Amino acid sequence: MSEIVEMLMLDADERMGKAVTRARGEFATIRSGRAAPQLVERIQVEAYGVPMKIVELASISVPEARQLLVTPHDPTNLEAVERGIRASDLGLSPSNDGRSLRLNFPPLTEERRKELVRVVRQMAEDGRIAIRNIRRDVRKDLSSSEGDGDLSKDELQRAESELDGLTQAQEALVDAALAEKEAELMEV
């Protein structure tokens, strides 16, 4: 295999891996009835005059299966963190004890579970689309290398079939993560 092909394949593998990781990270933000710190880590809060993520301002722990405890590092940010959580799309009402916030997660209804499965499927499709876009970009690079005379037709065909195999493997990882999340969401 030529250096160009090897370099393009390594780049594609790395970028596709990042797309899979991003899809898994998005799945973690979907509430499954159990408390998980990832549900609130990305919520934006206005603190010190700039928007910051909750994870930068507070420690998040799971004292019980359906409860999160958010304790700001600086107690002056407690109200800002509370406002950020209330403004988020999680639909949670934090209880404030003066030092920390407790977030109680009620059990999900069947209808809400099905709605969340649809959201997760869309996230998975976005992940697969990102992987396919990477494949398209690499194919374009391979074709231009072949047009420049750096690759023969046979090398191009082998590289494209290797790229297709890599794409299918990465899409399978997204599908496996999707199946796992769907099972978790439908678990009562």
Number of Cβ within 10 Å of residue 125's Cβ equals: 13
Domain edges within the chain? 3-28+109-186, 38-104
Render each residue's pLDDT in the chain as its tens digit; 188 residues: 588 889 999 999 999 999 999 999 888 878 776 777 888 887 888 888 899 998 888 999 998 888 889 999 988 888 888 888 888 877 778 888 888 999 888 777 888 888 889 989 999 999 999 999 999 999 999 888 888 888 888 888 999 999 999 999 999 999 999 999 999 888 76
Region for 49 from its dihedrals, namely left if φ exceeds 0, alpha if ψ lies in -120 to 50, beta otherwise: left
Q: 3-28+109-186 has which fold?
A: Topoisomerase I; Chain A, domain 4 (1.10.132)
Q: What is the Cα–Cα distance from 7 to 182, expressed in whole angstroms? A: 36
Give the relative orientation of helices 3-28 and 153-186 as an angle to the nearest 10 degrees. Answer: 10
Structure tokens at 53: 């993520």
**113, burial (CB in 10 Å: exposed 0-12, middle 13-18, buried 19+):** middle
Structure tokens at 163: 């790229």
Q: pTM for the full model? A: 0.72
**53, burial (CB in 10 Å: exposed 0-12, middle 13-18, buried 19+):** middle
> Does domain 38-104 correspond to CATH entry 1.20.1250.20?
no
Contact 85, 57 (CB under 8 A): no
